[in-house]
Amino acid sequence: MFVIAEEVREALANDQPVVALESTVIAHGLPYPKNVEIAREMEANVRAAGAVPATIALFDGAVHVGLTEAQLEQLAEPGVEKVNLSNLSLVLASKGVGATTVAATIWCAARVGIDVMATGGIGGVHRGDDWDVSSDLPALAQTPVAVVCSGAKSILDLRRTREWLETWGIPVVGVETDVFPAFFSRLTELPVDVRVETPEDAASIVGVHLTVRESGILVTVPVPAEHEVPVAAFNRFLAAANAELAARNIRGADVTPALLDALARISEGATLRANEALLRNNATMAARLAVALTQLDGEWAD
């Protein structure tokens, strides 16, 4: 059921740092060929910071942890399923190709003993009252993995998303930020639970959390300032994108990819550039966290 790349297997066996990477962002989050390029760059950044990258996806009835170049390319082809916890077993059973969201990626990571994952942003509570809540949230509530991300996209209801995290016991650490970042933008009015200045400083908190709790922990890193999309501009892009989606009657799991695509077009690439910058940066930050976690010693080290 699990096919673990040799390099990842060795690192895990020797308590070396490993960073899990999701694959939905490749298959459904970014346009081709940028998506494959970014996937490779994220892996390279993880390596440069001293950890082993483990991109996760489903192929032929197995969870693959650590992908070949050919598999990365395959994820960019049409027809790849978007996999969360509601269809993970179904896609495995059908032996199809599945790109894992944060929810499915952390589940797989935890099963093979990986403590840290990097992504762009988590899913959350959608705007409106139709109970569209990302599977990422319950997965975080149940899965002991640290997720390094730039918060959640402001296409979501961020206030409800932030409340959900607190209710379900998922601590939010801010790296160089007092507020929960909004993916494309650095600022919101929503607090983090604790601020640290570096990913290394987050390691002792993450180490304790993963030892005493059975839930995930978010380590949020704002988009690099030079690539931020300011909130006011973003809200204009979002209003236009939402109007477009409503007219096309898009629902459920298709909403996030369709919105990202519309936003990139309407913002003339500004949201895409922010997305790329934060993905690269988060890969580096996650690797630094993973390295620091393996160097922890004392009572709380696992």
Residues with catalytic annotation? 22, 153
The nearest distance, CB 211 to ligand PSU, in angstroms, is 25
Which CB sits closer to ligand PSU, 39 or 289? 39
Could you list the residues known to form a binding site for Mn(2+), using ranges: 132
Residues that bind ligand PSU (CB under 6 A): 22, 24-25, 28-29, 84, 101-103, 120-121, 123, 134-136, 253, 256, 260, 275
Nearby residues of 265 by Cβ (< 8 Å), 6 or more positions away: none
The gap from C-alpha 186 to its chain's centroid, in whole angstroms, comes to 17
> Distances from the Cα of 25 to the Cαs of 105, 216, 239, 276, 285, in angstroms?
11, 20, 23, 10, 18
In angstroms, the CA 203 to CA 116 distance is: 10
CB 245, CB 179: distance < 8 Å? no
The three-state secondary structure class of 185 is: strand
Contact partner, 25, from ligand PSU, Mn ion, none, Cβ < 5-8 Å per class: ligand PSU
Of the candidates 22, 43, 115, 132, which one interacts with Mn ion according to CB under 5 A? Answer: 132
In angstroms, the CA 61 to CA 164 distance is: 33
Contact partner, 101, from ligand PSU, Mn ion, none, Cβ < 5-8 Å per class: ligand PSU
Contact partner, 22, from Mn ion, ligand PSU, none, Cβ < 5-8 Å per class: ligand PSU
In angstroms, the CA 146 to CA 116 distance is: 5
Strand partners, 182: 151, 185
In angstroms, the CA 209 to CA 203 distance is: 10
Which CB sits closer to Mn ion, 62 or 250? 250
Angle between helices 270-295 and 255-266 (to 10 degrees): 120
Which CB sits closer to ligand PSU, 19 or 103? 103
The nearest distance, CB 149 to ligand PSU, in angstroms, is 8
In angstroms, the CA 270 to CA 280 distance is: 16
Q: Which of these ranges, 56-64, 126-134, 141-149, 264-272, lies near Mn ion under the rule CB under 5 A?
A: 126-134
The nearest distance, CB 23 to ligand PSU, in angstroms, is 8
The nearest distance, CB 253 to Mn ion, in angstroms, is 6
Which CB sits closer to ligand PSU, 157 or 291? 157
- Per-residue x/- track, 222-261, Mn ion (CB under 5 A): ----------------------------------------
The nearest distance, CB 63 to ligand PSU, in angstroms, is 16
